[in-house]
Chain A
Amino acid sequence: MEFNENFILGCSAIGAGLAVIAGIGPGIGQGIAAGHAAAAVGRNPGAKGDVTSTMLLGQAVAETTGLYGLFIALMLLFVKPLV
């Protein structure tokens, strides 16, 4: 069966939209990290600097999976590997 280019482009756009759903996971994860960091600062305000840097490091690592999804979406939209 032969598909024309427009059909593949449309399907790529749908795929890009689906790939960006990966952003849900890091959103939840970063929210949990920030919430716990806020609780830790509330308990021990003296350790604010350490808590903040640890939180940012953990969030940056947790962000990775979402960025994989974004990367796939960008590839599908701009590089068009399937056409």
Chain B
Amino acid sequence: MGHGILLSAAEAEASAGSDIDFMIHGVFSYEIFGQTVWITTTHVCLLIVMLIIIGFCLAANRAVKKAGTVPTGFLNVVELIVEMLDGMIKSAMGSNATKFANYIGTLFLFIFISNISGLIGLRPPTADYGVTLALALITFCMIHFNKFKYQHVSGVIKGLCDPWVFWAPINIIGDIAVPVSLSLRLFANILSGTAIMALVYGLLGWIATAWPAALHIYFDLFSGAIQTYVFCMLTMTYVNDAIGSES
């Protein structure tokens, strides 16, 4: 015990015991610098999600290169997605949209495909705290990089001691709470969906035929899409706040 849900490799199998199984499993382990490191099911699912996205991107690239004056078929879908993402980023970031459109678009596609990968029988990679914490830390770095870039050191210190000098510790705790809440929100949402689906399939047996599809639509599609939107929206809001009204 002690590795918990984050790294529970082979131990989870012993602890889960029955058919109910939504834990991360180790596929194989290797030693590096005296530490045992596990390649888990998260890595495998992450690889599959990446392959899906890369395949989609290659197909989209080919379609764009061959495009005539009137878009047809697959190109329509690609244009729809790009226009939707552009519209979302434009409405949230205003004049800063062009600088961050690439990253936010990548983030949106990755989190969305990860969240709905439960539909094709994978364990969603975002139901592993390692993945969501990494995403939230990228956001955290972006926030503070942009803060130092646009508000300079004096502005950052002024913002830290906002109402009064002695409020600085509280402001620092507030800054640290951003990535924690951002990552835990996504993680807990997707994990709860995964856990509830595992409970339905594990406990109900043959009763759980066909109708859990409705639960899949809610937990995987609806909840996944909403949480993707929330993560991207909050990232954009925080970064826009960090840039301030200067530019």
A71 x B230 contact (CB < 8 A): no
Tell which of A28-36, A38-46, A56-64 binds the partner.
A56-64
Q: Which of A57, A63, A79, A83 has the most CB of B within 10 A?
A: A79
- With an 8 A cutoff between CB atoms, is B16 at the interface? yes
User: Which of A60, A70, A79 is close to B227, meaning CB atoms less than 8 Å apart?
Assistant: A60
- One digit per residue, 1 when the CB lies within 8 angstroms of any chain A CB and 0 when it does not, for chain B 1-26 equals 11011001000100110001011000
| Cα distance, A40 to B187, chains bound together (Å) | 32
B181 x A64 contact (CB < 8 A): yes
What are 28 residue pairs bridging A and B, where the CB atoms are less than 8 Å apart in the complex?
Answer: A56-B226, A57-B226, A57-B233, A60-B230, A61-B185, A63-B189, A64-B181, A64-B184, A64-B185, A64-B188, A67-B185, A67-B189, A67-B192, A68-B184, A70-B188, A71-B187, A71-B192, A75-B4, A75-B5, A78-B15, A78-B20, A78-B23, A79-B4, A79-B8, A79-B12, A80-B15, A81-B1, A83-B1
Contact flag A60-B188 (CB < 8 Å), given A78-B15, A83-B1: no
- One digit per residue, 1 when the CB lies within 8 angstroms of any chain A CB and 0 when it does not, for chain B 191-207 equals 11001000000000000
Binding site for B on A (CB under 8 A): 56-57, 60-61, 63-64, 67-68, 70-71, 74-75, 78-81, 83
- With an 8 A cutoff between CB atoms, is B150 at the interface? no
Measured CB to CB, the nearest residue on chain A to B5 is A79
Binding site for A on B (CB under 8 A): 1-2, 4-5, 8, 12, 15-16, 20, 22-23, 181, 184-185, 187-189, 191-192, 195, 226-227, 229-230, 233-234
Contacts of A68 in B (CB 8 A): 184, 188
B184 x A78 contact (CB < 8 A): no
| Cα distance, A75 to B88, chains bound together (Å) | 35
Contacts of A81 in B (CB 8 A): 1-2, 4
Measured CB to CB, the nearest residue on chain A to B222 is A56
Measured CB to CB, the nearest residue on chain A to B195 is A74
Contacts of A61 in B (CB 8 A): 185, 230, 234
Contacts of A57 in B (CB 8 A): 226, 229-230, 233
| Cα distance, A81 to B5, chains bound together (Å) | 9
Contacts of B16 in A (CB 8 A): 78
Contact flag A71-B226 (CB < 8 Å), given A79-B15, A80-B1: no
Give chain A nearest CB distance to B104 CB in angstroms. Answer: 15
User: Which of B23, B188, B227, B233 is close to A71, meaning CB atoms less than 8 Å apart?
Assistant: B188
Measured CB to CB, the nearest residue on chain B to A72 is B188
| Cα distance, A74 to B175, chains bound together (Å) | 28
